């Protein structure tokens, strides 16, 4: 693995500095000495160097369904459009849909993503080939297939956990309380205890979900999940849009992490999560795109900007979610939300997951505050270089680990095959 020195960028959390990378880790943040030897020197003056972006919630292979089920509420979107297509999915479809997602994410500066879906071994294989960092779980829901799905999640953990030089992490993925009632959660929690795995789950995404939980159990989804013992494990809760002050107290007390997915929640009309209140309670909140079929892209710059803006507008308070915090939610807080160590900041000894942004753009000029420029004005197309574990995945507009043209072709072919079966 070649050593690389980035000369003179603005560095997130540091200011102007050189950044050296050796053996997959950050070896220098400061000023390179004249005698320092690196295989490559990248002149990065006029660029911003930030930790690789972390996408805390998604379903990668749903890129295949981008634009196929727009302008519908969540339940109709799922039941009428998405679930019938997913019933026809094959391993090949998931591989190419995942690879398409990774091409898009890398182009947008994302180095780490989490995924809850089917045929997860194919997403793992694609992640290993693409060089990305991935946190993967097989989606689990009540029904005759639950036993097989648990077996598949076990197999995924046994075969893929810490593969790819440690870039691939496996979790368990109960879909949500409304698809995994308390009794069905029991075997999932037993497996989590046996394999010592964290869990990710959709929580309180819509008002309807909360109303159903209160009607059925007399309590909110958050309160029910606490009763089941789910929160005894490390948990990443996706969405948490409709949570009360009491729910936030439960989540904070149990150290539950949250993925805030503002664009998907807005597009589906689900609402806006009370993120400032969660942060005030000391919770760790990262950002996620959700799947490309409910977003419709995987652009973490858009999530950053939206997270920084919508809470200001709701509360009529421009001080909420400032630029620096939005960038942290997309990087260091995102890594913590996924229970990852040695990832998410530009510090010596950390893994070299790096995104380089060209600030020499009309919409980013003049360069007054690079952090604010990134949070409020930068675009995915401003990314010029992406590195994960010290390996360059994108440079000067070219993906180095993914055949982009073939990936687009194969994804389109897989979608046609699925549609022909309906």
Can you give the residue ranges of every domain in the chain? 4-51+345-399, 53-337
Task: Tell how strand 15-16 and strand 199-203 pair up.
Answer: unpaired
For helices 182-195 and 146-160, the axis angle rounded to 10 degrees is 20
Task: Tell how strand 133-140 and strand 168-170 pair up.
Answer: parallel
Whether the CB-CB separation of 140 and 146 falls below 8 Å is answered with yes
CA geometry: angle at 270 spanning 267 and 275, to 5°? 100
Whether the CB-CB separation of 94 and 117 falls below 8 Å is answered with yes
Environment class of 317 (CB within 10 Å of its CB; exposed 0-12, middle 13-18, buried 19+): exposed
Predicted pLDDT at 194: 97
Q: Is the pLDDT of residue 212 over 80?
A: yes
How far apart, in whole angstroms, are the C-alpha atoms of residue 97 and residue 123?
A: 9
List the beta bridge partners of residue 116: 137
Predicted pLDDT at 123: 98
Question: To which residue do tokens 């270089």 refer?
Answer: 385
Predicted pLDDT at 251: 98
What's the gap between Cα 422 and its chain centre?
Answer: 30
Q: What six digits make up the tokens of 232? A: 């005894």
CA geometry: angle at 340 spanning 339 and 341, to 5°? 120
Q: What six digits make up the tokens of 137? A: 């779980």
How far apart, in whole angstroms, are the C-alpha atoms of residue 110 and residue 383?
A: 10
Predicted pLDDT at 35: 79
Whether the CB-CB separation of 295 and 63 falls below 8 Å is answered with no
| Residue 267's pLDDT band (cuts 50, 70, 90) | very high
Q: Is the pLDDT of residue 218 over 80?
A: yes
- Residue range 57-76: mean pLDDT, rounded: 92
Predicted pLDDT at 420: 84
Predicted pLDDT at 145: 83
Q: What six digits make up the tokens of 212? A: 């159903």
Query: What is the CATH superfamily name and number for domain 53-337?
Result: Metal-dependent hydrolases (3.20.20.140)
Lowest mean pLDDT among 72-86, 178-192, 318-332: 72-86
Half-sphere exposure of 70 toward its Cβ, with a 13 Å CA cutoff? Answer: 7
**Fold classified for 4-51+345-399:** Urease, subunit C; domain 1 (2.30.40)
Residue 101: how many other CB atoms lie within 10 Å = 33
What's the gap between Cα 355 and its chain centre?
Answer: 15
Q: Is the pLDDT of residue 221 over 90?
A: yes
- Residue range 348-362: mean pLDDT, rounded: 98
Lowest mean pLDDT among 139-148, 229-238, 339-348: 139-148
Environment class of 71 (CB within 10 Å of its CB; exposed 0-12, middle 13-18, buried 19+): exposed
- Residue range 302-309: mean pLDDT, rounded: 98
Predicted pLDDT at 249: 98
For helices 323-330 and 300-315, the axis angle rounded to 10 degrees is 140
Question: To which residue do tokens 């020197």 refer?
Answer: 41
| Residue 421's pLDDT band (cuts 50, 70, 90) | confident
Q: What six digits make up the tokens of 115? A: 């995924």
How far apart, in whole angstroms, are the C-alpha atoms of residue 342 and residue 351?
A: 6
Residue 48 has φ and ψ, to the nearest 5°, of: -110, 130
Whether the CB-CB separation of 295 and 288 falls below 8 Å is answered with no
- Residue range 107-135: mean pLDDT, rounded: 98
Q: Is the pLDDT of residue 323 over 80?
A: yes
The continuous run of DSSP H or E covering 83 comes out as: helix 83-86
| Residue 419's pLDDT band (cuts 50, 70, 90) | confident
Whether the CB-CB separation of 391 and 355 falls below 8 Å is answered with no
Signed CA dihedral, 139, 243, 101, 127: sign only = negative
- Residue range 67-93: mean pLDDT, rounded: 90
Q: Output the average pLDDT for the chain.
A: 96
List the beta bridge partners of residue 20: 5, 28
Q: Is the pLDDT of residue 422 over 80?
A: no
Q: How does pLDDT run across 234-258, given as a tens digit for each residue?
A: 999 999 999 999 999 999 999 999 9
**What string of H, E and C letters represents the secondary structure of 356-411?**
EEECCCHHHCCCCCHHHHHHHCCCHHHEEEEEECCEEEEECCEECCCCHHHHHHHH
The residues, any chain, with a CB within 8 Å of residue 345's CB and separated by 6 or more, are 12, 13, 51, 331, 332, 335
């Amino acid at each position: 693995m070649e050593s690389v020195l980035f000369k003179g960028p603005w560095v997130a959390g540091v200011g102007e500095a050189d950044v050296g990378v050796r053996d997959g880790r950050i070896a220098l943040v400061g000023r390179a000495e004249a005698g320092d030897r690196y295989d490559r020197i990248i002149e990065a003056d006029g660029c911003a160097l930030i930790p690789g972006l972390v996408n805390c919630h998604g379903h990668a292979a749903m890129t295949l369904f981008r634009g196929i089920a727009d302008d519908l509420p969540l339940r109709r979107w799922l039941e009428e459009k998405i679930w019938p297509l997913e019933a026809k999915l094959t391993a090949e479809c998931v591989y190419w849909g995942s690879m398409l997602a990774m091409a898009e994410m890398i182009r947008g500066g994302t180095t780490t993503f989490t995924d809850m879906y089917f045929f997860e071994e194919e997403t793992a294989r694609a992640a290993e080939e693409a060089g990305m960092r991935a946190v993967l779980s097989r989606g689990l829901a009540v029904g005759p297939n639950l036993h097989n799905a648990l077996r598949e999640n076990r197999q995924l953990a046994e075969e893929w956990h810490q593969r790819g030089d440690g870039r691939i992490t496996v979790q368990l993925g109960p879909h949500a309380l409304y698809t995994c009632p308390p009794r069905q959660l029991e075997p999932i929690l037993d497996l989590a205890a046996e394999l010592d795995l964290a869990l990710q789950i959709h929580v309180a995404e819509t008002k309807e979900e909360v109303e159903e939980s209160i009607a059925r159990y007399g309590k909110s989804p958050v309160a029910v999940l606490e009763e089941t013992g789910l929160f005894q494990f490390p948990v990443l809760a996706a969405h948490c849009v409709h949570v009360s002050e009491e729910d936030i107290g439960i989540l904070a007390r149990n150290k539950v992490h949250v993925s805030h997915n503002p664009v998907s929640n807005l597009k589906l009309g689900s609402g806006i999560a009370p993120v400032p209140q969660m942060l005030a309670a000391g919770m760790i909140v990262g950002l996620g795109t959700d799947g490309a079929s409910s977003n419709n892209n995987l652009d973490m710059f858009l999530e950053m900007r939206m997270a920084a803006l919508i809470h200001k507008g709701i509360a009529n308070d421009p001080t909420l979610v400032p630029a620096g915090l939005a960038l942290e939610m997309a990087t260091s807080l995102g890594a913590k939300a996924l229970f990852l160590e040695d990832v998410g900041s530009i510090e010596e000894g950390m893994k070299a997951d790096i995104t380089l942004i060209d600030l020499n753009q009309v919409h980013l000029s003049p360069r007054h505050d690079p952090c604010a420029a990134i949070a409020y004005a930068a675009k995915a197309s401003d990314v010029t270089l992406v590195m994960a574990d010290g390996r360059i995945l994108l440079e000067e507009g070219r993906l180095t680990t993914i055949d982009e043209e073939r990936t687009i072709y194969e994804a389109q072919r897989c979608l046609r095959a699925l549609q022909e079966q309906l």
